[in-house]
Structure 1
């Protein structure tokens, strides 16, 4: 019997950023892989995730390599970096995720997906700047929820308030889980897979081997490396984000902020409807 094969796709979250081990990143996917099967059975694990990846990167670069491996399990967690770009288009994001999920499911792989908190909340940005990013992340999460159901994915909810509020789960950068957070993600995925008979090994421990970052360490990161991190990823977004923030303030003053939420909801509905329409056979 061949060992269970698990391939992880995505961005820095899945690459393991925030969970350093021996001068490299480990992360939740590696922790999960170790508990998918008994030691004597073995697990073939390949982490193809790359920091900074967007849905287009996963579709064009990571997916072909994953399909060649013909895995039993495929995790696809991506989308936050899309929300940080001026090119953000929920319809395009939905189409790419649908193609990625569909290709994996067609090979018979079990999908693992997750919805994520918005980066504005994690960084503690002012409301007018945070709300547009939150709206984008909610849109991505809504698409992920719908497509996860369509393809029978094992889905993990990581956008809840308690996950965001517990700073012991996060690394000093406040955007990536620390060791404790990565272990919790791995343990929660393991529990969901075990309930479906897809994980027969021991669950990953939730107890970290390293201490959580102190508040002073977090503040130091934000004052030094954090500024550069945000600048590198938001260079093309910043002008648009300022425009979005100004629009946010105008709607707030007029008492019409609900229109922005409604517009985002309609965009998600249209994106999912477009996928359904594309699946319909053409009339004779």
Structure 2
């Protein structure tokens, strides 16, 4: 099972001090526990926006791919990329991966209101903008034939209440945070893997 991670710093594992505690290896472990042989490659780049997915998709397709896990949206939000623009770029990336024969699972933009750098007076606004952005992304992913993993629903309350899930920079996940995200992503990834190998 050729598993590729695409997207931003979360997919790349920024914040964890050990590679094995990052998203790709954690998801590969879930798949191996389900009986799959896994070849993991990480094409994600810290700081990537949806516009940067095109080059990552090309690299993934060139190397062969069965399952793509895409984590994207945080940097679009911080750079004020309009939702329809970022969602269309995400749509095109998912469509290209699907055309190459890959199953695609997407974790959309997180709720950035839980980041400690956000002033309390702005948190409601940031939360609304984050949710709206993720909603437009979800619609684009579904249109392109991908699967949306609703990671934010599962992890946002936990990150909001437990500072240990953040790394020292108070923005990226810690090893414990990555385990939470991987656990939330795993059911969707395992489902498409089972479909792929059926």
Flag the structure with more relative contact order, 1 or 2, with Cα contacts below 8 A and sequence separation at least 6.
2
The answer, yes or no, to whether TM exceeds 0.5 is yes
Could you say what secondary structure the match of 2:150 adopts? strand
How many angstroms does 1:8 deviate by?
0.5
Find the aligned partners of 1:193 and 1:57 in 2 and give their Cα distance: 23
Kindly indicate whether the alpha-carbon contact (under 8 Å) linking 2:67 and 2:193 is maintained by their aligned counterparts in 1: no
Q: Structure 2-normalised TM-score? A: 0.83
Matched, 1:42 2:37: yes
Kindly indicate whether the alpha-carbon contact (under 8 Å) linking 1:32 and 1:190 is maintained by their aligned counterparts in 2: yes
Kindly indicate whether the alpha-carbon contact (under 8 Å) linking 1:30 and 1:45 is maintained by their aligned counterparts in 2: yes
Q: Structure 1-normalised TM-score? A: 0.60
Kindly indicate whether the alpha-carbon contact (under 8 Å) linking 1:83 and 1:133 is maintained by their aligned counterparts in 2: no
Could you say what secondary structure the match of 1:113 adopts? strand
What's 1:79 paired with?
73
Aligned mate of 2:161, from 166, 171, 184? 166
**1:255-274 counterparts in 2 under 5 A?**
none
Sort the Cα spacing of 1:193 and 1:7 in 2 relative to 1 into closer, same or farther, 3 A.
closer
Aligned mate of 1:97, from 90, 96, 99? 90
What's 1:11 paired with?
8
List gaps (5 residues or longer) in structure 1.
200-284
How many angstroms does 1:70 deviate by?
2.7
**1:42-61 counterparts in 2 under 5 A?**
42-59=37-54, 61=55
Q: How many residues align?
A: 192
Matched, 1:27 2:22: yes
Could you say what secondary structure the match of 1:36 adopts? helix
Find the aligned partners of 2:183 and 2:121 in 1 and give their Cα distance: 35
Find the aligned partners of 1:193 and 1:121 in 2 and give their Cα distance: 26
Give the root-mean-square deviation of aligned CA atoms: 2.6
Q: How far does the alpha carbon of each residue in 1:85-131 deviate from its partner, in whole angstroms, 9 at most, with x for none?
A: 25x22221121011011111122211111134332431252245444
Kindly indicate whether the alpha-carbon contact (under 8 Å) linking 1:84 and 1:133 is maintained by their aligned counterparts in 2: no
Q: How far does the alpha carbon of each residue in 1:151-194 deviate from its partner, in whole angstroms, 9 at most, with x for none?
A: 24151332454233232322232322211121122223223333
List gaps (5 residues or longer) in structure 2.
none
How many angstroms does 1:132 deviate by?
4.5
How many angstroms does 1:145 deviate by?
2.0
What's 2:150 paired with?
156
Kindly indicate whether the alpha-carbon contact (under 8 Å) linking 1:154 and 1:193 is maintained by their aligned counterparts in 2: no
Kindly indicate whether the alpha-carbon contact (under 8 Å) linking 1:148 and 1:155 is maintained by their aligned counterparts in 2: no
